[in-house]
Amino acid sequence: MTIQDMVRVLNAHVLLGEDKLSTPVYTACCSDLMSDVLAFVDEKTVLITGLTNPHVVRTSEMLDLKCLVFVRGKVPNEEILESAAEQDLVVITTKATAFTACGLLYQEGLRGVPVPLEWDSED
């Protein structure tokens, strides 16, 4: 699907990157723990989060993420949006909760960033 499809499915408002909505997306991740995102994400993906502080955008910058989805209708402040604009990030906000947003997107075919489901022997 494309970011435009995500906007439709989530009934989202586009805060930034109106011109990049045709970008294709294949995977997403959902977390409020930035170190967790930094630990398992290694591709240009979508981050769904309830956090709206500057570190969400910084984390996106470090990982070259494509799109940020804020849940529960959250909107970051101007300063944060400006730094997101500098990186050409698409930023959208949806009224849905994190769980519902993930469910809706999964149903439409978006998948999680691949991580092995097997346990290591020391776990």
Our finding on whether 59 is near another protein (CB under 8 A) is yes
| H-only helix segments in 11-120 | 34-40, 54-63, 78-86, 98-107
Our finding on whether 42 is near another protein (CB under 8 A) is yes
CA-CA distance, 7 to 83, in Å (whole number)?
Answer: 21
Taken in order 28, 33, 34, 35, is the CA torsion positive or negative?
A: negative
Our finding on whether 35 is near another protein (CB under 8 A) is yes
Task: Find the binding residues for another protein in span 61-120 (CB under 8 A).
Answer: 61-64
Please, which residue, 34 or 101, has the CB nearer to another protein? Answer: 34
What residues make contact with another protein under the rule CB under 8 A? 32-36, 38-39, 42, 51, 53-56, 58-59, 61-64
